Amino acid sequence: MKKLLEIKNLEVCFYLDSAIPAVDGVSFDVYEGETLCVVGESGCGKSVTSLSIMQLVATPPGRYLNGEILYRGKNLLGYSTDEMTKIRGKEISMIFQEPMTALNPVHRVGKQIGEALRIHEGYDKKEAFKESIEMLKIVGVPDPVRCANSFPYQLSGGMRQRVMIAMAISCNPNMLIADEPTTALDVTIQQQILDVIKNLKTKTGMTVMFITHDLGVVAEIADRVVVMYAGKVVEEACVKDLFANPLHPYTRALLKCIPRVDEKRDKLDDIKGIVPNPASFPSGCRFHPRCEEAIKICKTIVPEEVTLGDRRVSCHLVTQKAKECRL
């Protein structure tokens, strides 16, 4: 497959009382037509990475320290505000995590969906509003005319998220970034939102980058998976390989936390401790304080990235096994 987006050694820092590294040397590619899921606990850098693609990290306090984000070979971090305006919504669109804060509370839904059509497609207000109703039909809103004439507070959480999707796809973008779009929705609504995204991908062939902490969602929609922890990528693999043979202890720990109907447990598994504070990351492997498989070297030396076929992982245990196999 052809690369659509390449993130190379991205470093994003927030300057508050001290320098806080939110994303630290992140690299991965997104291929045309695939669904790539970026997975990890809250605070691991998933959302900051996705916001960086759109140049939506607030600067200040944020700052892009290093790296490139190449879209069709051109570095988006070098684009001006006007140049990024032409990219956002037209080439790359984003569904935000909380639609109630992303949507403008004082404008009707139809007007907000139509804004991108007026900017990128040259529609007048009447044409844009009419097209916004068609977009709402596509994402499965039962009464699109009423919805288009409503304010965000008049809609349920599931309907607001559908509005966000309609807004994101209104200009037929090449790439859709979905930042935890099913968070805070009940299970049935979550499934409906996932179905909408999958159907749109099937019909349009667009590329999807899906940010989530829910591995159940990953198993359903992903082609490939990038696992992040404490601002770094710790593992990358196709979804089948990741679930069948997770290489990094953090990935294995995440998978153990998934409830299974075929197993009887007194309680659910969990990962001890919490994601470390970015202001004081531990030395060595950042996961070692919580890792049940940690060895002495993990506490002091940052693990090197190992490439194994079409997957990669950063773990001393994997590095040692790779060396033993070569011997």
Residue 131, in any domain of the structure = no
What's the CATH code of the domain at 53?
Answer: 3.40.50.300
Q: Which two tokens stand for residue 95?
A: 């569904």
Residue 159, in any domain of the structure = no
Residue 125, in any domain of the structure = no
The reported pLDDT for the residue numbered 131 is 92
Question: CA-CA distances (angstroms) from residue 188 to 158, 195, 219, 249, 260?
Answer: 10, 11, 17, 32, 19
The reported pLDDT for the residue numbered 279 is 86
The reported pLDDT for the residue numbered 324 is 65
CB atoms within 10 A of CB 302: 14
Closest CA to 225 of 291, 310, 306: 310
pLDDT digits (tens, 9 = 90+) for 36-45: 999 999 889 9
Global pTM value: 0.90
The boundaries of the domain holding residue 10 are: 3-91+173-272+282-326
Q: Which two tokens stand for residue 186?
A: 């009940």
| First-to-final CA distance of the chain | 34
d(CA 134, CA 183) in angstroms, rounded, equals 26
Residue 60, in any domain of the structure = yes
The reported pLDDT for the residue numbered 207 is 95
Residue 140, in any domain of the structure = no
The reported pLDDT for the residue numbered 261 is 66
Domain total in the chain: 1
Residue 104, in any domain of the structure = no
Return the half-sphere exposure (C-beta side, CA atoms, 13 A cut-off) of residue 276: 21
Residue 208, in any domain of the structure = yes
pLDDT beneath 70: ranges in the chain = 184, 261-266, 323-327
The reported pLDDT for the residue numbered 327 is 45
The reported pLDDT for the residue numbered 263 is 67
Q: Write out 46-72 in H/E/C secondary structure.
A: HHHHHHHHCCCCCCCCEEEEEEEEEEC
Residue 97, in any domain of the structure = no
